[in-house]
């Protein structure tokens, strides 16, 4: 099928009025890859035979800081629309910055304490920018369900909390991280990597697996195992430059409790490219640790 391409609020409103419920939204920044296809496939399942999938494609300036890759972020709208057509998407909303932000926003969404750590610490304003654009997209598209990837685990946790705290009445569905054959999590930013840089980037997945394998022995050993791999990566050529490796509560993304489910999250730079990844682990109660 060929999706309706809406570049303005007016065109979106006209297209949205003809969509059958449930309407399932997949917010993206475009440059769609196999990870996005997994999101679209899940959205199509949730919409069912009678519902509709709506995709947004918007590179959100509010979540980019000074010196980040806003200008060079890949923009491949024609290819994105073709992918959406393959996946049964009814409408693609692809506004320009002036359409999304007719004026500089005076009111934004405060992510709270969870937005000040990890991604929020290393990318000040990022979490606020993400939540602000997401709530705007929710208001414009009026979905019943929205689908997000688990690779952006902090974003997922904050969106879920925002929906609950603000009584937005939207179901949030999550899709597991899709990985390339070498283990690297699929990302639009992967195309920035040279062959040597990609080889170094593979240490991220190795570190997460090492931490996951030691999680049964407790948080300290899980983090130590991950850090040992990341220390090795720091000596690679080119080197991996670590921003953080941490265990977070999967619901709040504050520091994880000493037991139960947790997200082992990592962010690092290889060359000029910043990458994030994570795995879910289960930490044992103190009496169960070896």
Identify the CA nearest to 152 among candidates 19, 276, 249. Answer: 276
Identify the CA nearest to 12 among candidates 100, 109, 103. Answer: 100
Assess whether the previous peptide bond of 238 is cis (omega < 30° from 0). Answer: yes
Assess whether the previous peptide bond of 89 is cis (omega < 30° from 0). Answer: no
For residue 143, the Cα-to-chain-centroid distance in whole angstroms is 18
Which tokens belong to 99? Answer: 């359409």
Contacts of 226 (CB under 8 A, 6+ apart): 207, 208, 210, 211, 245, 264, 266
Could you tell me which residues are beta bridge partners of residue 27? 56
Could you tell me which residues are beta bridge partners of residue 267? 244, 276
Which tokens belong to 231? Answer: 């220390």
Euclidean distance between CA atoms 118 and 244, whole angstroms = 7
How far, CA to CA in Å, does 150 sit from each of 165, 178, 237, 263, 279? 21, 9, 29, 10, 9
Is 106 in a helix, a strand, or coil? Answer: coil
Strand arrangement of the beta sheet that strand 145-149 belongs to: 4-6, 91-93, 52-57, 23-28, 145-149, 171-175
Is 70 in a helix, a strand, or coil? Answer: coil
C-beta of residue 44 within 8 angstroms of C-beta of residue 51: no
- Does residue 36 carry a catalytic annotation? yes
The one catalytic residue among 33, 36, 191, 259: 36
Annotated active-site positions, please? 36
């Amino acid at each position: 099928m060929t999706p309706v391409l809406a570049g303005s609020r007016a065109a979106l409103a006209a297209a949205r009025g003809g969509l059958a419920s449930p309407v399932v939204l997949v917010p993206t920044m475009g440059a769609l890859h196999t990870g996005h296809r997994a999101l679209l496939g899940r959205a199509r399942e949730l919409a069912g035979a009678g519902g509709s999938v709506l995709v947004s494609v918007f590179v959100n300036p509010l979540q980019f800081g000074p010196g980040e890759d806003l200008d060079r972020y890949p923009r491949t709208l024609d290819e994105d629309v073709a992918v959406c057509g393959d996946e049964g998407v009814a409408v693609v909303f692809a506004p320009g910055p002036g359409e999304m932000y007719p004026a500089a926003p005076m009111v934004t969404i405060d992510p709270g304490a969870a937005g000040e750590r990890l991604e929020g610490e290393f990318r000040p304003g990022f979490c606020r920018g993400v939540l602000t654009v997401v709530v705007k997209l929710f208001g414009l598209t009026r979905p019943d369900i929205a689908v997000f990837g688990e690779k952006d685990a902090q974003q997922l946790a904050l969106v879920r909390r925002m929906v609950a705290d603000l009584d937005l009445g939207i179901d949030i569905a999550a899709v597991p991280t899709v990985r390339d054959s070498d283990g690297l999590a699929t990302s639009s930013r992967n195309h920035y990597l040279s062959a040597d840089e990609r080889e170094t980037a593979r240490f991220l997945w190795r570190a997460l697996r090492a931490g996951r394998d030691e999680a049964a022995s407790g948080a300290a050993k899980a983090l130590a195992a991950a850090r040992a791999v990341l220390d090795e990566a720091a000596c690679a050529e080119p080197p991996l430059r670590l921003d953080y490796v941490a265990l977070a509560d999967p619901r709040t993304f504050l520091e994880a409790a000493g037991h139960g489910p947790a997200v082992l999250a990592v962010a690092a730079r290889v060359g000029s490219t910043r990458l994030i990844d994570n795995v879910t682990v289960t930490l044992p109660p103190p009496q169960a640790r070896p």
